[in-house]
Structure 1
């Protein structure tokens, strides 16, 4: 591996990540970069665990989706363990799934049936202690991933974690702004139709939300669309 060329490619990827306008496009650029930067990497994806629920993000191919589904069904597997931060190490590398794999005895045979020869995974540390994710790399070729591949993947995962966290923060900010705008429109409708102050209008929305167990943003959206509370 030419580390000079790798560093240049990483720099280009970092600039590209800053241009992405959503969490989804940021993650898609990260997984695409893995297949571009790491030799013999045929597919990549991010497995995220939210309070026990498993989600596959930005898969570059069906192989990623199938592998994650097998691990969720079995309740074991390298990506599954790493994404839950239950592994002893924040990185795993399986050089050859054709060899006997003691760590995940039920997953390994099914992975071979999917056509997976080698795997690597890297824990994505974020600023949210309740969410864990793993960047997972796949090769159909046994013995594809070397120590150099692992180092390259670790460097990519470090950038990915920062981008992932930043993109989620940006997404939350955009959502908060949109929510305030939606609620503000609804308050304006109530103030005009019922001759209320802004505080009184917000209190009407809040009480309606609590009494019917509907999120405040959803109440505001319905009011904006229908012109009155349902």
Structure 2
């Protein structure tokens, strides 16, 4: 594993770093690695956090190298202002030389300065090149205790790193979604088999019954299937009029 800030020709360094991010086992491991390696890309930072954009533009920190990074991030969410909150939604990146004196965030800046955090870089995790219209994934936030700890070169490296990080995170999310879909299909197939044997019905009717239960009870079809497999029959809460009769004889 390469460590340390890149010097000279940064292309091979970032290519190797991109491959490292792509090799992570899952989304959580990818986020943790992005967080860890951001401090190699910008070594003047003391700690880092990864803000991820959720549904309805809700923001959450899913990886952090130090509790102080999490605290600084969450202050932004609570106050509704701050560089990472803006970077995660708008197409902007920020270099803050002095949190106490930056007029853009009059509540958040002085608050984190009192915590001993005096400068930061925040760069967007962009929608990937494969889907230019995709909403931003979030932001990488690199904090320092020192005033004026970062340079414009640090910001440029962080922005380049964010592109590699976003591609790796998107890939990890896609693999996770595919794995979940395969597992869900397997569970549904097993549940269909349980119902066909239990009630003497065909697989199409078994699937239709689970679909109706899923809709009426507002429960995911996969969760209905898991219950069927665990119980060996339809859940007791299912409308008795719609339950198939058990075979006799």
TM-score normalised by structure 1 residue count = 0.91
Question: What is the distance in 2 between the residues matched to 1:21 and 1:103?
Answer: 39
1:72-93 Cα deviation digits (max 9, x unpaired): 11111111111122xxx52110
For structure 1, the residue ranges without an aligned partner over 5 or more in a row are none
For structure 2, the residue ranges without an aligned partner over 5 or more in a row are 236-249
Question: What is the distance in 1 between the residues matched to 2:19 and 2:38?
Answer: 15
Larger Cα-atom Rg: 2
Aligned to 1:193, which of 191, 195, 198?
198
Which residue of the partner structure matches residue 147 of structure 1?
Answer: 152
Aligned to 1:10, which of 14, 19, 41?
14
Which residue of the partner structure matches residue 103 of structure 1?
Answer: 104
CA contact (8 A) 1:183 1:217 kept: yes
TM-score normalised by structure 2 residue count = 0.85
Shift of 1:149: 0.5
| Consecutive aligned runs of 4 or more in structure 1 exceeding 4 Å deviation | 5-8
1:62 has 2:67 as partner? yes
Shift of 1:5: 7.1
TM-aligned CA distance change 1:22 to 1:188, over 3 Å? same
Aligned to 1:46, which of 44, 50, 58?
50
CA contact (8 A) 1:40 1:141 kept: no
| RMSD of aligned residue pairs (Cα, Å) | 1.8
Shift of 1:134: 0.9
Higher helix share: 1
